[in-house]
Structure formats: structure tokens, C-alpha cells
A = this chain, B = another copy of it.
Amino acid sequence: MGDRALLTDFYELTMAAGYFDRGKAGDTATFDLYFRQNPFHGGYAIAAGLEFAVRDILETRFEREDTLFLSGMRTSRGTPVFSDGFLQYLREYCFRGSIRAMPEGSVCFSSEPLVQVTGNLIECQMVESILLCHVNFQTLVATKAARMWEASSRGSIVEFGMRRAHGPDGAVSASRAAYIGGAEATSNVLASRLFGVPARGTQAHSWVQSFPSEMDAFRDYARTFPDDCVLLVDTYDVLESGLPNAIATGRELENSGHRLLGIRIDSGDLAFLSQRARERLDQAGLGYVKIIVSNELDEYLISEIMAEGGRIDVWGIGTKLVTGDGADGAALGGVYKMVEHNGRPKIKLSNNPVKTTNPGAKRVMRFYNSQGLMEADAVGAASEELSEAEVLIIDPHNPLRRKRLGESQRSEMLQTVVTDGRLVSDPPSLEEIRKRRKHQLDHLHESYKRLRNPHEYKVGLSLQLWEQKERLLNPRMA
């Protein structure tokens, strides 16, 4: 699909035209991308989608056909929406601003900036839709995958979701994000080719149905794939038919010098069936045969099946991984808000304190405790060092809640990704991103990972940033 420059909300273009028309093309600005609630009412999120967003932002060029289309747009009076001057501006447009961001795979939290964009007002505004689109979606799916990975005691998660994904390209993005968050393979062949994610697959019920008997179907599959044979055992009856036939096929494979790789159970009581299957496979000397389960799984079902003693080697997960399937909607509600304009901090007020923005360009410092576990994130002004022995942080939604962070290890969370429209380095590989996710989750206490009512991780403003917000909230008191 060409025309990527038009992948934007119409209001980005009308606002840009307005800024251009009203002589504000030279204004500067900083915008924060952040979310107000962790997805799935959870204790954390896994940042993802940045590479796609930055690629699209840096590659945006308005080609002739794009501006031709825009030049044909009409107001309700029939006059052109966009002036020739603005269309010429678009023809010469490319993003020349700067981007700082938490690297993909980072553990991150609500109320702190994941991405910060600085540049001229028009370019900062124009990148909004595409940036939010990639980061919201991939962060949602990466977080979902991480929750499933943790719920399965860091087991094997395979993403199977293409058929329920939001269009084929949504499926490809979802495969990447799921891999970042904790899946180890995908059923999506294109995602495998594009990103190097291992491809996996078993078989559909239609395979079994197309043979005179289940045994014929299993035997023939094993003949074609003697070393990668996973048999779907629930077309007729798992315990009465599928499992005995799979065991017979496993024995035949052994006799010809191969090993049955696994069986897949796609319906029924997965905890119970997996236990029975494990027993019978073991009794048959097929202890090496893996048990793969699927069927509308999510992290809650995984954790219940684990608690009930299910004997699962691989979790095949589709719908609820690639769509996010959150209790608060299948979307991460990331927003992108102006926090500075022409060097001055800006605030957006709201009756709801959570919706009042935190003004000013920022840095984010993560503090660790003496056990090396994450303790709190301090959001300070970009100009602050945050290197004092003791740093006070203040809950932006309730200034009565304050915390002193002592001497400890700390790390800067926002890294420079783009300066003056250029990437400062090649984006990290997916393997590096996966390592970062694992490493950071290793340093996050279990209480933040609970599926229900997790401990609330502390993210606070530095005193300087808080006082600045207070001045903007109460201008007469300043």
C-alpha cells in the first residue's frame, strides 16, 4: 500500500495548514506520548512499536499523487481546503525534529513519557497519528504476551492469531509485538520472513476429516513430516480416539527412526485432558512427546490451568493475544500531548486530575533498591540531573503522596533515537529487544506482575517539575 504520507488523521493536516497559514511554521514544541492506565488493569506494560513508528515518521514524504489528492479536497463552500502555499510546504516536508524514547522491550508504566518528540510545531503535530497507532497497538500486544509468558511460568507461547487479527498487516505487527513480549514463535509465515520469528504450525481439523479415518490422517501426516509431526487429537474424541491413534503413530515413527514431536488439544477441559494425555504418553514410553493446547486462551486461563496441574508444554494463543482483548477495550489508550511551546511549558487542564497533563520537556530516571529491583521512576525536567543523593518524587495525581528515593542504582529511561531528523543508530534487533524485556522483568518484583490487583508501581514528578505544574495550575499564586 503506497501513499503512506496520507496515513494520518485529517485534523493533523488541517492543523498543520492552520499553523502554516497563521505564521506559526517556525514555532517549536515538545509533545509527550504516554498512557494514563496500564493495560489490562495490570502493574506494568512492555514498550513496543517504536521502530515501526520512527521508520514511518522518517520516511514520510508527500508525493505528487498525495498532494494532488489533497489539492482536490473541498470545503463546504466548494473552495480548496488547502492553499497552494501549504501544499508546496508539504511537498518539501520531511521530519527534521528529535525523538527520545524508552527502547522497545522496556518495562514501562502509566503517567510517564514513553516517547518525547521535539521539533517545529507542524512536524510535531503531523507525526501524532502514526506514532500513536504503532506504539499503542504494539505495546498492547507485547504487554499481553508478557502477561501470558509470566502466567505460564515463562513457558512456551506460540502466537496463532492471524485469522482473528485486525487485517493482515495488523496480524504481522501483532506477531512482532507478541514476540517482543514473550511469544517464542508465530504461525504467521510473513512475520517469520520479515522478522525472523520462528514459524510453527500443526494441522487443522480439515486434515483429519479428509482421510477415511483419524489413524490414516495421522499416519499420512507423519509420513510427510516424520520429524515435525504434531497431531491434532480432538477431531472426534481426545481420549477415546485421538490419543490412542497418536500413540500408535508415535510408535510407528519410533520404528522408522523418528520421534513424534507433539499432540495438540484444541477443545475441552485442557487441564484434565493434558494430565490424562501426559500419563498415557508416558506409559507408552513417549515421554518426549510434547503437549500443545489452544482454544481461546488468555493469561487468566493459563494461570488456572497451571494451578489445576495441567501438563502443558506449549500454549498456542490466537485471538486474545493479537487483539489485546483488554477489559478496558482492545486498545492501549496512549495519548500525545503538547507539553512545551516555544520553550514555555504548557498544560491541558481537566476536571479529572488524571487527564491534566504534566507540563514541560522531561527525563525519566528509574531507581532500583538494594536488591536490584525496580523501586520507582522519577519524572524530572529535561534540564534536571536527578543525580542527587536523595530525590523526592510526588504523585502527580495526589501531591500528598510523596516518596524519597535514596542512594541506589539508577538508569535513564528515555534514550535519544532521532536527532534533527536522523536516526542516531540502527534500531536494536528483536533479539536484543527480547533480552531487554526479560532482563527488566527479572528486576520487577512479583507483586507488580499479579494478574489481579497488582501492586501499584510508583511514578512521581520531581519537585521542580511538580512546582512548575502547580504554577500553571494556579497562575495567580505564582
Contacts and interface: CB of A to CB of B under 8 A. Distances in A.
B170 A137 contact: yes
B193 A69 contact: yes
Interface string A125-166: 100111011101100000000000000000000001011111
B1 A341 contact: no
Given A56-B168, A166-B167, A171-B7, A22 B223 contact: yes
Given A225-B14, A267-B355, A348 B205 contact: yes
Interface stretch (A103-111, A184-192, A432-440, A458-466): A184-192
A380 interface: no
Nearest to A21: B224
A15 B203 contact: yes
B125 A137 contact: no
A412 interface: no
Nearest to A338: B206
Contact of A329 (B12, B189, B320): B320
A170 B166 contact: yes
Given A7-B189, A206-B125, A338-B210, A133 B171 contact: yes
Interface in A5-43: 6-15, 17-19, 21-22, 24, 27, 29, 31
Given A14-B203, A170-B169, A136 B160 contact: no
A267 B194 CA distance: 41
Nearest to A70: B189
A27 B220 CA distance: 15
Interface in A49-83: 52, 56, 69-70, 73, 75-77, 79, 81
Interface string A219-257: 011011101100000011100000000000000000000
A174 interface: yes
Contact of A209 (B81, B235, B325, B338): B338
Interface residues of A, number: 112
B346 A167 contact: no
Contacts of A398: none
A168 B7 contact: yes
A213 to B, nearest CB: 13
A163 B128 contact: yes
A94 to B, nearest CB: 18
A201 B323 contact: no
A402 interface: no
A337 interface: yes
B319 A325 contact: no
Contact of A9 (B77, B163, B296): B163
Nearest to A79: B227
Q: How many copies does the complex hold?
A: 2
A130 to B, nearest CB: 6
Given A7-B168, A132-B163, A169-B168, A75 B338 contact: no
A204 B11 CA distance: 8
Given A227-B76, A355-B267, A205 B330 contact: no
A350 interface: yes
Contacts of A202: 11
Given A10-B189, A75-B228, A319-B331, A210 B121 contact: yes
Contact of A125 (B11, B165, B204): B204
Interface in A325-373: 325, 329-334, 336-338, 341, 346-352, 355
A261 interface: yes
Given A21-B223, A201-B10, A163 B133 contact: yes
Contacts of A276: none
Nearest to A52: B167
21 contacts: A1-B169, A8-B162, A9-B160, A9-B187, A10-B189, A11-B204, A18-B220, A27-B210, A73-B199, A75-B227, A81-B225, A132-B164, A133-B163, A133-B168, A166-B166, A166-B174, A166-B322, A170-B173, A205-B337, A237-B349, A323-B324
For the complex of A and B, the 8 pairs showing the least CB-CB separation, nearest first, are A330-B330, A11-B201, A166-B166, A10-B201, A169-B169, A170-B170, A166-B170, A132-B163
